[in-house]
Structure 1
């Protein structure tokens, strides 16, 4: 416990959420991924599609969504690592969310952190929104195992 507290002394946790800022995430992916467009076109009228066709299309969409999330996370993660920022990847909460990342930042370096996030965000187009929140207590960077 003392080691963990020492590790986070003078640091705060900043949350970074990246979301797809598009009207319809499925349609965005249909335009991005030819295989998804072909599958959607094969299904045709959604109201007439069979349950199995809808499940298959949904699975293909979910696969494409997660592949793109992983690819984009690797891009952001590499940039954060290049700046020496410790981070933890969180779970996404909905289909619009690209990633959720907890970052451990020196309290005195919050301005630099904002600048780094701005640089990273500038490499993305207008289909993405970067949202910072915090500072918070660095809960994502400590673990306490209690035994009774």
Structure 2
């Protein structure tokens, strides 16, 4: 039975999971508040009390959110909530669980025994533009011609040429990304349930993937990644992280009632 808590306290929600008898958790969350579960039927929400109506996306709060998810992900399947989801009461959480129990159960069944791994491939070069200039003669010729012809030309014409060179660079950059992604996905597909493409974080990033993997296949995935590395040039670096809760593979339209 849950202890009575202040009516003024909001409830910060970290994740949804299957209900268990265990409600208190030996873990601290946002603002070092105790983490516990609120259950209804077959499902539960992982929460902690919070006095503020909003959780600021500061480093310590983001780290606390991740640590709670990591704790539960190591032991069971969870459906992670985005950072900052707060409701006013335990009753509103129970109402959300009541309204969405079948959706939550289906999602937990679909993701059962699976975790998310992040895979990023980057160019490990000092200047990515110069790297492309040195590898693509058409880009080098266009750049060199601009440098030669700049003197005496109008500012407008120089600007148009720069825009054209920039467009060519972007085209070549995207072509390289697509080619690398095709190779990488083909290599990893046998070990992954699903692969989702995420936007590159910067110019140096070639591929950014979220991979849904059976927990029991994590060792195999590492070998697949090592094999993939042999198919890429020495100018590429592979970085993979996890296991994480499957953030990029949860697609639930839930409403948390503020009551």
User: Structures share a fold, TM > 0.5?
Assistant: yes
Larger Rg: 2
CA distance in 2, matches of 1:76, 1:86: 13
Which is richer in helix? 1
Structure 1 residues 16-41: Cα deviation after superposition (integer angstroms, max 9, x where no partner):
00000111111111122121111111
Match of 2:141 among 34, 38, 59: 38
Point out which structure has higher relative CO (alpha carbons under 8 A, 6+ apart): 1
Structure 2 portions without partners, runs of 5+: 1-102
| Runs of 4+ residues deviating >4 angstroms | 45-49
Give the match for residue 246 of structure 2. Answer: 138
CA distance in 2, matches of 1:15, 1:28: 26
CA distance in 2, matches of 1:47, 1:41: 10
Give the match for residue 3 of structure 1. Answer: 106
1:3 Cα shift?
2.5
- Matches for 1:45-60 after TM superposition, within 5 Å: 50-60=158-168
Structure 1 portions without partners, runs of 5+: none
1:84 Cα shift?
4.6
SS of equivalent to 2:161: helix
1:95 Cα shift?
0.4
Q: CA RMSD in A?
A: 2.0
TM-score by length of 2: 0.53
CA distance in 1, matches of 2:238, 2:140: 27
- Greater displacement, 43-52 / 113-122: 43-52
Give the match for residue 219 of structure 2. Answer: 111
- Greater displacement, 94-103 / 40-49: 40-49
- Greater displacement, 110-119 / 3-12: 3-12
Question: How many equivalent residue pairs?
Answer: 148
CA distance in 1, matches of 2:201, 2:253: 26
Give the 3 Å change call, closer, same or farther, for CA 12–102 of structure 1 in structure 2: same
Structure 1 residues 68-94: Cα deviation after superposition (integer angstroms, max 9, x where no partner):
101110111111224454210100011
- Greater displacement, 29-38 / 71-80: 29-38
